Chains A and B, each alone.
Chain A
Amino acid sequence: MSTRKFLFFISFLFFSIVLKAQQNQGFLVSGQVTEKSGQTIPFATVIIDKTDLSMISDENGNFVFKNVKPGKYTLKISAIGFSGQKKQIEVLDNNVTISLQLDNELQELESVTVIGRTATDKVNKQAYSVTAIDAKKLHNTTLDLSHALDRVSGVRVREQGGVGSQSELAINGFSGNQIKVFIDGIPMDNFGSSFQLNNIPINLADRVEVYKGVVPIWLGGDALGGAVNIVTNSKPRTYFDASYSFGSFNTHKTAINAGYTAKSGFTTEINAFQNYSDNNYWVNVEAADLKTGEYFPNARVRRFHDTYHNETVIVNVGITGKKYADKLLIGFTGGQNKADIQTGARMKAVFGSRYTQGNILMPTIKYQVKDLFTKGLNVNLNANYNFGEEQTVDTVYRKYNWFGDYIQYSGAGGERSRTLMKLKDNNGIVNANATYSLGERHSFMLNNTFTTFDRKQEDELVPESIAYQQPRKTQKNILGLGYKFDYNKKWSTSVFLKNYDLFTKYSRSYNPSGNAGDIAYQIFEDKTSTLGYGAASSYYLRENLQIKASFEKSYRLPGSRELFGNPNENVAPNIDLKPETSYNYNLGASYQTSFNKVNALAFDVNFMYRDARDFIRNTLFTNQVDSYSVNLGKMTNYGVDGEIRYSYRKRFTSGINLTYQNLRNMTKYEPGENFVSWFYKDRIPNIPYMYGNVDATVFFNDVFKKGNNLSVGYNLLYVHTYYLSWPSMGSKDSKLEIPQQFNHDLNAVYTLADGKYNIAFECKNLFDNKLYDNFSLQKPSRAFYIKFRYFFSKSN
């Protein structure tokens, strides 16, 4: 869809809103669908019998029918996993509000469910291969989002260091840009370094959904191998959640989330958070003498130049629950961060003065309306634009060693390469989503996501550079169309199509005359378009046994960083990149059972197969420091991940998950070689392929005082050792490896007054093991934290 078409679509939308306001008649019938326990049921189908009125409840189980004429009606409600229900209502001369309770179909588990499988279970019941984390259960911990994700089967987060350090998310062998991250369905890739998974506190999220391989179209984006969607609490309510933690390495974290919704519908929300850490944890290094270069092997030293801090505020103001807008919020996200750079790609390289900094200055708008110009048509519209910029500062001409000693050189230089480069990427996103349900069985969805990128770069050290003034622009548009067919409560199937468009504008330099010093630029514009598709289906074999299968031919358009490079990260441009593509297959089953009415067990297992082509791979320039991205390589990956979870009454819960994946290089011929590659079918190196978690929590109720609860929890992360390079190459005793990791965390949470006040103690890396996610980049040593939290909420 072109920009023009898209603008037309928006104006059409607004036009219809105006129309809508004039034809108002009848009354509102609204309500909420819940379980007997009070848990809300999202995406339930609600039909007013013998009329054309039907709709799907939202993620919180809410539904609203507008313009219902007075009379007696029968409401029919159904949802996957629940028995259907009918309810008589009568509309007289007033709006009607009803609450609907459905019985869980899984009778066997009526009284015994596994702890930790409540609200998020509704998400897990989708036909997609998806795992949802109930973030609320982690609100008393000091986790950021990336550490919470690290506990999901099939997912690995690889960090380079401590608080705020660069981290990379991998799902089933795909990583980095191949995974898309969304917040409330809005792609986050333009948010800059001040608002990322490694610094967003868990308290911002209500739940976190991880889609493996197949990404539903309501997450509009070009993900090759999966997506993460952070869902914040969007219920209109009045709440206040404040927390502060401090601990080892002078680490301080604060998060405040507050919201107020007035009777009039006026809504205001504020989320503010801050992270600070010296990150001066102990590492084992070879420290060099600055003069002779001699190494002192196995020195245990503290990191000395790794301070990180970020501060971010999100404010939203608007209205909720109006006829013309179920939600209209105007907001602003502002934030900044500064990160000292302690090491290079190896810990052998140590810095003492370089740092990066960045900010986010982003106005946002969110708009939601239900029953737009026909009943059952719901529309969401989101837009934002980030005016932030990122800078690397390297202006101190010194050489450091691990003891913090340095040699100061005279003149102007840097530690690595003198720079004050600033990048301002001018990113914008417009995302629109429309759903329409027709009867009980059919629903349709249309999603369009448009992103724009227009880089401005400058370095005050090279102010006159005309190279920096060249155009670097991309525009992406991803249009998705989906259809869902619910044959009955047991069987549900979705199919979808996605169209990917990429427009780039750039220039190439040339020498017009051949004379020394002459330079000119020619502007180019390129367009590419591709079509992807997929399907997902789920079936309940028994009430407590679900199987699901999904498939997608996915595409990922090359990112602006890959097309235009990033001089601050020594990434060179490659404007000729093609989209990468993959065939992703998933097959999964989940089963729940219980015995003796007190023990509950849940099993989940997923098989997956990936077949990726034109893989965008990072390669190094010959004789250069820079790396750049190329379309190289084929890769296949088949794997399995599974989870078993047990709980005993509400007193104890424990789980184990394991992931194994077999990533193979299927590039038969390397470029410039006419013979079968030596690494053909070898395991892809430097990617973890076997890992898992074990956790256990014991709950004590009414400790010291009634209403005060204590829980003690333990989490173990295991990652099997893997090689840095091709496994078949080199002698075994010389091979460089990322050693196996055992990370033990302990925590104790004491909640007072039914959760209003909370105190948590945590010990991370209990046994002070040497932990590595990347070759030679050591992660934090043992650390202790304490967290205080106050929470108050009132439903409107």
Chain B
Amino acid sequence: MKKGNKLALFAAFIAFTTFSCSSDDNSGNGTGGGEDTGKTKYIITATTGAVGIADYLLTTDDVSTGTISTIGNGIEQDGTYRYYITAQNNFFSLLYGQGNPGAVTTYNLTSEGKLQKKSDFQAETVHVFAAVNKDILTVKVPRSGAASIAMMYKIDAEKSLITGEAQQDTKKLAGNGERAFFTWATQVGDKVFMPYMSIKGDGLDNFGTANPDSTWVAVYNYPELKLEKVIKDNRTSYLGAYFTNGLFQDENGDAYGFSGAIATSNATLTSTKPSAVVKIKKGTTEFDKSYFFNVQEKSGGYKISSTTYISKGKFLLLMYGNAGKNNGAVKMAIADVYNQTFTWVTNAPETLTSVTSRYNITSEDGNSAIVGINTPEGSWIYSINGTTAVATKGMKVEGGQITAIQKLKY
């Protein structure tokens, strides 16, 4: 009896240990940048809201029709939030959140057009990321505490490695007792223009300010990232917004800056200037005093929430739904900055829960913005024509809210 029990125990031991080995997952480290043979693959990212999972990456050849779903489909992206950028025909998935150093996963397409993981590398959690030359420039900006140093990193978009870093004291940059918080970075000519907002960063009302009626753009050379000058204006407020690009270069080399004029103090709107577009002429580092596009006036009192460039001076604007306020369900509009015209988009869904205004693309012909629209009825990809301001319904996305649309060639 006793012996039998011991034997049984031993057998159980063997049985369990046989099962107990687990396999390591290996990160595919292989092929270089995806070859461009003229074919396009769209990448749609969709979030399910599950804690710990950011998005699913879905791929498709055509976003103008059909249905795509995350059910049993898509590459899972861990983390709280992820942000996306394409550069050098690579797709970068940046992990944000949890206050931790972020990991970046790079994907490219195989010759069959299948999304594959190219590499993984560690980067900081950042608030600004933009393609500059063959790099991705990322900036981590402190919003409170004694630390006021913004860290800038240059990432080689082909090698997927950090190749350099620079620092900027944001209190020194602001020079008004507050601190500068970069809203975004835009390559203009061979320089990098970084608009910023002035914020208190006092740990209480971090994004509040006592300077709600001024515009600032810090100008850096590249690749040294040395501050050359700060250009200022007082006709509207800061350009862009937290995590939102507000400065775009057109085909002529001119830059247009978009301000929602939504500076706050203790969560109360305090900007007195209108939401507007300002211009920096090609080759200059000054605001064009002769140019001022008062969007708030032309729209009937509405303020800009975010902006997407289509082409030839046409921009897709997301406007706050409540006139004169920085809240309310957003509405889409087309702005022509050359002719200073403002047109509400027609044929769009009644209620927009959210629009992928920050991470989207233009159509192959350059005439439309392709955006993801989430509504209480579901999520679709829409094409918004920059000339007619008409929205056209495209692919339906099931099993999550659309967070970004990007494309790669293969």
Residue ranges of A at the interface with B (Cβ–Cβ < 8 Å): 284, 286, 288-289, 291-295, 297-298, 344-346, 348-350, 397, 399, 401, 409-414, 416-419, 459, 461-462, 465-467, 509-511, 514-519, 570, 618-620, 623, 625, 627, 648, 651-652, 654, 670, 672-675, 678-679, 685-686, 694, 696, 698, 714, 716, 718, 724-726, 728-732, 734-736, 739-740, 742, 744, 767, 769-770, 775
Contacts and interface: CB of A to CB of B under 8 A. Distances in A.
Contacts of B35: none
Given A297-B29, A414-B147, A729-B72, 20 more contacts: A284-B24, A288-B101, A289-B122, A292-B121, A292-B163, A295-B120, A345-B100, A346-B78, A461-B203, A509-B266, A518-B266, A673-B376, A674-B376, A678-B400, A725-B52, A731-B75, A736-B53, A744-B17, A769-B22, A770-B22
A682 to B, nearest CB: 10
Interface stretch (B205-213, B276-284, B360-368): B205-213
A461 B5 CA distance: 64
B142 interface: yes
B147 A418 contact: yes
Contacts of A672: 353, 376
A577 to B, nearest CB: 17
Contacts of A570: 98-99
A467 B204 contact: yes
Interface string B131-148: 000000000001001111
Contacts of A466: 204
Given A293-B161, A516-B265, A730-B76, A651 B2 contact: yes
A718 to B, nearest CB: 8
Interface stretch (B43-51, B228-236, B312-320): B43-51
Contacts of A770: 22
Contacts of A292: 121, 161-163
A686 B16 contact: no
B75 A730 contact: yes
A740 B22 contact: yes
Given A465-B203, A516-B210, A742 B20 contact: yes
- Most B CB contacts (10 A, CB to CB) among A418, A678, A769 go to A678
Contacts of A625: 80, 97-99
B74 A729 contact: yes
Contacts of A724: 52-53, 78
Given A519-B205, A652-B2, A729 B71 contact: yes
Contacts of B95: 348
Contacts of A730: 56, 70, 72-76
B20 A678 contact: no
A725 B50 contact: yes
B48 A726 contact: yes
Contacts of B223: none
B377 A413 contact: no
Given A465-B203, A730-B76, A516 B52 contact: no
Given A292-B162, A729-B76, A742 B100 contact: no
Contact of B120 (A286, A519, A728): A286
Contact of B5 (A288, A416, A648): A648
Given A348-B103, A725-B76, A288 B122 contact: yes
25 contacts: A286-B120, A286-B122, A292-B163, A298-B24, A344-B98, A346-B98, A348-B100, A413-B147, A462-B203, A625-B98, A654-B5, A672-B376, A673-B378, A678-B71, A678-B400, A679-B50, A686-B52, A718-B16, A725-B50, A726-B53, A728-B72, A729-B53, A729-B70, A742-B19, A744-B13
A293 B376 contact: no
B268 interface: yes
A417 B99 contact: yes
A752 to B, nearest CB: 24
B208 A731 contact: no
Nearest to B399: A678
Nearest to B205: A519
A739 B270 contact: no
A344 B99 contact: yes
A620 B147 contact: no
Contact of A729 (B16, B48, B148, B155): B48
B98 A349 contact: yes
Contact of A675 (B76, B120, B169, B378): B378
Given A348-B101, A675-B377, A514 B121 contact: no
A464 to B, nearest CB: 9
A742 B243 CA distance: 44
B53 A511 contact: no
B149 A515 contact: no
Contacts of B399: 678, 728-729
A732 B98 contact: no
A679 B208 CA distance: 38
Nearest to B147: A413
Nearest to A679: B48
Nearest to B103: A348
A511 B147 contact: no
Contacts of B73: 730-731
The residue in A350, A459, A570, A728 that gathers the most chain B C-beta atoms within 10 A of its C-beta is A728
Nearest to B27: A297
A765 to B, nearest CB: 10
Interface in B50-108: 50-53, 56, 70-76, 78-81, 95, 97-101, 103-104
A514 B12 CA distance: 73
Given A517-B265, A674-B377, A724-B78, A744 B5 contact: no
From A348, A685, A732, A735, residue with most partner B Cβ within 10 Å: A348
A616 to B, nearest CB: 13
B266 A510 contact: yes
Contacts of B163: 292
A678 B70 contact: yes
Contacts of B50: 679, 685, 725-726, 729
A467 B70 CA distance: 43
B49 to A, nearest CB: 7
A324 to B, nearest CB: 54
B110 to A, nearest CB: 15
A294 B2 contact: no
A410 B50 CA distance: 38
